[in-house]
Amino acid sequence: MNELMSHTADRGQAEMFSKAWYNEYFRRAAESPTHARFCEAVYGRDLCQHGMMDVDEMAFLAAMLKPGEKVMEIGCSNGHITEQLHEQAGCEILGLDYADVAVGQALRRTEDKRDMLNFHCVDLIHDDLPGGDYDVIVAIDSIYFMGDYGATLRKLNAKLKPGGRMIVAAFQVKEDHDPESILNPGHTRMDQVLKSLSSDYMQHDFTTNVRNHWIKNYEYSHNLRADFDAEGNAFLCEARMAENGWFKDHAEQETLVRYIYQIEHNPALS
């Protein structure tokens, strides 16, 4: 269990991040004007986000994709980010998520783009991943939900074509029991696993973005609380507040970092 999930479980919110919880989240978020304002203010653009990727980080990620590439995105929620990546990079993307409400929203919205954009309802832990020979697999704040990083990277690596790559956006915090070095490039938990697998990879630092993100996430959830309540969407606000205090503290203490890892296909793992 990663830091985020153990933190929320500690607060008696064990059901947070379950399929039912995410379905409830996206059922409400897709229709909520206040959620749209929240995302616009916090991320720089409303794409119904539930991760930590702001518009600058997203532009960087989109520039890592090439026209015509065959991409699979894991944990795509209701696919607004997926759709934008497709629009910006011209690649073909299959988005996967277990929240069937979110996948349904994505499918309905993108019906006329089905040749280049598709979405499947898949449990990333229990189901087989569809297709294969992907040029790229993208994971934006979803890798935490798949359990052990090593097993997850092996599972994803097996779906890449030779020469393919993964693009994984993930945070790392330093808790009291962790060494200082865990925040440094080359030393995060993801780095440690990638090194143990002898994978070739590069990492790009988005620490400033993620620290700003959580400070704004905290601030706007409080600023917009009355508006969420007035819509009958206190659930959305409480969902944000359940995690943003913990992250804001780490951001202010400078014990939170974020990297995009570009990981090359590893033939030795397949």
Ligand X SMILES: C[S@@+](CC[C@H](N)C(=O)[O-])C[C@H]1O[C@@H](n2cnc3c(N)ncnc32)[C@H](O)[C@@H]1O
93 forms beta bridges with 71, 117
Nearest distance from C-beta of residue 63 to ligand X, angstroms: 17
> Given the complex with ligand X, which of 46 and 227 has the nearer CB atom?
46
Does 166 interact with ligand X (rule: CB under 6 A)?
Answer: no
Does 124 interact with ligand X (rule: CB under 6 A)?
Answer: yes
Does 203 interact with ligand X (rule: CB under 6 A)?
Answer: no
Nearest distance from C-beta of residue 68 to ligand X, angstroms: 23
Does 81 interact with ligand X (rule: CB under 6 A)?
Answer: yes
Does 167 interact with ligand X (rule: CB under 6 A)?
Answer: no
- Beta strand pairing call for 134-140 and 117-121: unpaired
Distances (CA, A) of 86 to 54, 58, 61, 91, 140: 17, 12, 11, 5, 15
**Residue in 32, 34, 35, 49 binding ligand X, rule: CB under 6 A:** 49
Does 32 interact with ligand X (rule: CB under 6 A)?
Answer: no
Does 142 interact with ligand X (rule: CB under 6 A)?
Answer: yes
Supply φ then ψ for residue 235, to 5 degrees: -55, -45
Does 28 interact with ligand X (rule: CB under 6 A)?
Answer: no
Does 243 interact with ligand X (rule: CB under 6 A)?
Answer: no
Does 206 interact with ligand X (rule: CB under 6 A)?
Answer: no
Does 145 interact with ligand X (rule: CB under 6 A)?
Answer: yes
> Given the complex with ligand X, which of 2 and 187 has the nearer CB atom?
2
Report which residue's Cβ sits closest to ligand X: 51
Does 156 interact with ligand X (rule: CB under 6 A)?
Answer: no
Size of the site for ligand X (CB under 6 A): 20
Closest C-alpha to 119, from 87, 153, 83, 169: 83
Does 79 interact with ligand X (rule: CB under 6 A)?
Answer: no
C-alpha dihedral sign at 34, 35, 41, 46? negative
Q: How far apart are CA 216 and CA 34, in angstroms?
A: 15
Q: Contact residues for ligand X (CB under 6 A)? A: 22, 49-51, 53, 75-77, 81, 97-99, 102, 123-125, 140-142, 145
